[in-house]
Amino acid sequence: MSGRYTLFTINISRLREDFFDLSQIGKVGESGVNRPAFSIAHLEARSWFRKRIEQAGLEFRQDEAGNTSGFLRCGPPGAPTLLLGSHLDSVPTGGRFDGALGVLAGLEALRRIHEESLTLPFHLEVIDFSDEEGSLVNFFGSFALVGLLEPEHLENPRGGRDKLSEGLQRAGLNPEAVLDARRDPASLAGYLELHIEQGSQLITAGMKVGVVSSITGLSFYRLIFLGRADHAGTAPVQTRKDAGVGASYFNVSLRELIVERYPDCVANVGIANFEPGAFNIVPEKAVLSLEFRSAELSRFQSLKSEVLKLAEDAAARFGLRLVVEFLGEKEPLVMNQKMQGVVEKAAEVLGLPAAEIVSRAGHDAQAMAAFCPTGMIFVPSEGGISHSPNEFTQWEDCVNGANVMLNSVLLLAENS
């Protein structure tokens, strides 16, 4: 890299005004937002975004999946487009930073480059992906854009079919046309996303910027332990086939497995239901929800086989039958090396301590990574809290993140 790189910085007061304006839309309590995909509040946030795009002299666009974007023609004719963005939707009682920060930082980067009349080797587009949080369909917008959205995702959406059609109607989208949002990978120069970390690795390490190296893979299962119902008073404990005990034993063993041999991974049993479900009946059926995550493919695969073996062993130990239902999976994804390099360099020229970091949460970047060169920038989350109104990132860190985004774009342009 030449030593002649010119540092640019964002307009802090403009970003601040945007951030506070946007956090009023769908506001809950003092500091939360409630903007599930295609809700009235979410659509209001999108109209606000459109106004800002137009005020900035950018071209407003919306695709068949509702992905909303601002386009800046700053490259030569026929050049590919570098996408910057995140999402304006939230979980039902989410925080102000998750998603919103990335969209606003992308908008600010486009405005600064437009103001400076810079010519780059690519065009720029700031995008707000539809339903990142998966209230209706998981990664609805980014999956549609990369062609991973299937008709069955729309027929059996996780938010329910009625809610999906209501939402699409409210947003003025045609359900028949959603899959047409697919783009040609050759039309994209890449995708860059700024996001809050939603964990506490950066603060623990005393770092200001996270250069995301990979995004965790995750698997979902339903485990059903089947035993025999018995009288809780008369059946001796030693001879029972207690599905509840087998399921509980599995859950404790799972924790031990992770702590002792997979400290780089996580697993969670978030739902447990015993049937028939009475004080005085030994459970004949126990149903567990299981998810586990790993950022590294070989670890992900070996964890998967060990976890399933653990469930079989727990069932066998208590004389139970085990039914394993596979509910879905996303493999871990590595971020593009060149993108990681420009993010690292941008942090360096800004004098910000940066570290490589694994994303333990899912993001639209996960959909994009297999489609075009993708990178992610993380900034610290106080207390690692997210998906909560208590989610908080210091304003200085938001500004740092936006500056890293802007300079990553310019460094990428220099190196293209």
Interacting residues with Zn ion (CB under 5 A): 98-99
Measured from the CB atom, the residue of 63 and 98 that comes closer to Zn ion is 98
CA distance 214 to 210: 11
Element (H, E) at 324: strand 321-330
Shortest reach from residue 95's CB to Zn ion, in Å: 10
Find the Cα–Cα–Cα–Cα dihedral 296, 298, 302, 308, rounded to 10°.
70
Shortest reach from residue 119's CB to Zn ion, in Å: 32
CA distance 191 to 171: 25
Measured from the CB atom, the residue of 113 and 376 that comes closer to Zn ion is 376
> Is the peptide bond preceding residue 389 cis, with omega within 30 degrees of 0?
no
Residues 6+ apart with CB under 8 A from 118: 74, 410, 413
Measured from the CB atom, the residue of 32 and 227 that comes closer to Zn ion is 32
Shortest reach from residue 103's CB to Zn ion, in Å: 10
Measured from the CB atom, the residue of 98 and 242 that comes closer to Zn ion is 98
Residue owning tokens 């015993």: 274
Measured CA distances, 55 to 49, 52, 189, 297 (Å): 10, 5, 26, 45
10 Å CB burial of residue 97 (0-12, 13-18, 19+) is buried
Residues 6+ apart with CB under 8 A from 333: 214, 215, 217, 366, 369, 370
Shortest reach from residue 3's CB to Zn ion, in Å: 36
Shortest reach from residue 244's CB to Zn ion, in Å: 36
Residue 315's φ and ψ, nearest 5 degrees, are: -65, -45
Residue owning tokens 């995004």: 215
Closest CA to 370 of 220, 265, 215, 138: 215
Element (H, E) at 204: helix 201-205
Cβ count within 10 A of residue 61: 14
Measured from the CB atom, the residue of 339 and 365 that comes closer to Zn ion is 365
Shortest reach from residue 381's CB to Zn ion, in Å: 11
Shortest reach from residue 408's CB to Zn ion, in Å: 19
Shortest reach from residue 132's CB to Zn ion, in Å: 6
Cβ(333)–Cβ(191) below 8 Å: no
Measured from the CB atom, the residue of 219 and 386 that comes closer to Zn ion is 386
Measured from the CB atom, the residue of 96 and 123 that comes closer to Zn ion is 96
